[in-house]
Structure 1
Amino acid sequence: MSVKTHVWDVAVRFFHWSQVLLLGGLWYTGNEGLMAQHQLMAYTLAALLIARICWGLYGSTTARFRHFAASPIAALRYLRHPKPVLGHNPAGAYMIFALILLLALQLLTGLATFDNSYISDGPLVQYLAAEWVSLASSIHKVNIDIILICVGVHVIAALWHSWRYDNVLLTMITGKTTQQYTSSMRPLIKASWSYFVIVVVLLGVFYVWQGEMLVKFI
């Protein structure tokens, strides 16, 4: 019987799958004009993303950005000779960083997006010059397509890697892998309670700032 190695903590897995659900919900509500729901989901994703960035600085070994940050050469070498990796592989790391930056850009531009409606307008619209609001609105519309393309590439890569090498999708669900690693290689997995504390605090801040008003329009 193979011994499983703990790879991903609860915080990383919760953020990963919540992000998937929220992106789907944001895409749907944006297209359907359900702007109150759209903005509530956006604030929820913002809280999760900010907490994930914090967790990437002090969390479990495999959650930390410095653990999976790699040079372009390392990423290219990995693409030429893929193999099971404990945590994010060098090529996948670039996708993770790209998605974090794109999500941050989407959320920030959403705060300054003008849509001819009191509910739809971002809360920063009233404080910015018209040209900045127009730029933010344009970026917001284009950037979501870029995010969805990146997500599609990420999913295809994960399916291919799971088929050819090790089941990274199952590992992201269970947090454990059956790949064999020495005890010295096994990562430090921390309890995720502080991640969820940050999420709850941020959700409270966003609710007081905008959420309470948005709930009235649901």
Structure 2
Amino acid sequence: MLRKMQVWDLAVRVFHWSQVLLLLGLWYTGTEGLMAQHQLLAYSLAALLIGRLYWGFFGSSTARFRNFSYSPLAAWRFLRKPKPVLGHNPAGSYMIFTLLGLLTLQILSGLATFDNSYISDGPLVAYLPESWVSLASDVHKTVIDLILIAVFVHVFAAVWHSWRYDNVILSMFNGKNDVPANATPQLKSTWRYFVIVLLALLGFYLWQGRILILFL
């Protein structure tokens, strides 16, 4: 027995779609050499990621990491026989953790990436040993390819699942999904998430944003 109900809060949905738009912007600005814009978008993504990490521990029940930390066996069983679950499914949860980890690594490595330019050098380049900077630069160039591969797999899986089972793409817009009748998500007011994001944005602006804006 299933019933349609609100599963995803505004914080999860805003992070999800903002992440999509920012990744597209980061890919384009990086490819075109628009480094000031690239870094501003990166700091915006970092602020959203900080908010999502906070929300993963203190947010709604369907947003908390502990509630979709499944074993590999559970993920395999879900792939063999998908069924409605409350929140992220066992297989999708591994992709979420993968993407969050890759995004964190990409942002941290970007802070120490050397590109022979004041605008495009990461702000930590001047404070780190050359070997660390070289490693960070190599990691930054490699991880973006891994992110693009993961995104492609994630999109393909979401489209396939929406076609065969339930529309998970639509649910990330309206927040609603079919869940077992006895399941009751505990959704929290999302204002704390947006406060965290805004504070992080302010911190990044005061640290680097004011300088980067001069190069736009």
Shared fold per TM-score greater than 0.5: yes
Is contact 2:56-2:64 (8 Å) kept?
Answer: yes
Q: 1:33-83: CA deviations, max 9, x gaps?
A: 000000000000000001100000011110000111101111111111112
Question: Amino acid of the residue matched to residue 196 of structure 1?
Answer: F
In the aligned structure 1, how far is the partner of 2:162 from the partner of 2:125? Answer: 44
Unaligned runs of 5+ in 2: none
Pick from 198, 202, 205 the counterpart of residue 204 of structure 1.
202
Partner in structure 2 of residue 108 of structure 1: 108
Question: Amino acid of the residue matched to residue 147 of structure 2?
Answer: I
- Give the CA deviation at 1:84: 2.1
Partner in structure 2 of residue 120 of structure 1: 120
The alignment status of 1:150 with 2:163, answered yes or no, reads: no
Is contact 2:26-2:38 (8 Å) kept?
Answer: yes
Q: 1:119-142: CA deviations, max 9, x gaps?
A: 000000001111111110011011
In the aligned structure 1, how far is the partner of 2:180 from the partner of 2:171? Answer: 15
Question: Amino acid of the residue matched to residue 89 of structure 1?
Answer: N
In the aligned structure 1, how far is the partner of 2:28 from the partner of 2:61? Answer: 35
Give the match's secondary structure for 2:8: coil
Q: What TM-score, normalized to structure 1?
A: 0.96
- Give the CA deviation at 1:3: 5.7
Q: 1:96-134: CA deviations, max 9, x gaps?
A: 000000000000000000001000000000011111111
Partner in structure 2 of residue 185 of structure 1: 183
In the aligned structure 1, how far is the partner of 2:41 from the partner of 2:172? Answer: 23
In the aligned structure 2, how far is the partner of 1:191 from the partner of 1:3? Answer: 22
In the aligned structure 1, how far is the partner of 2:86 from the partner of 2:168? Answer: 10
Partner in structure 1 of residue 34 of structure 2: 34
Which 4+ runs in 1 deviate beyond 4 A? none
Q: 1:1-218 counterparts in 2 under 5 A?
A: 4-177=4-177, 179=178, 181-182=180-181, 184-218=182-216
RMSD: 1.1
Is contact 2:84-2:180 (8 Å) kept?
Answer: no
Unaligned runs of 5+ in 1: none
Q: What TM-score, normalized to structure 2?
A: 0.97
Is contact 1:29-1:37 (8 Å) kept?
Answer: yes
Identify which range, 76-85 or 93-102, moves more after superposition. 76-85
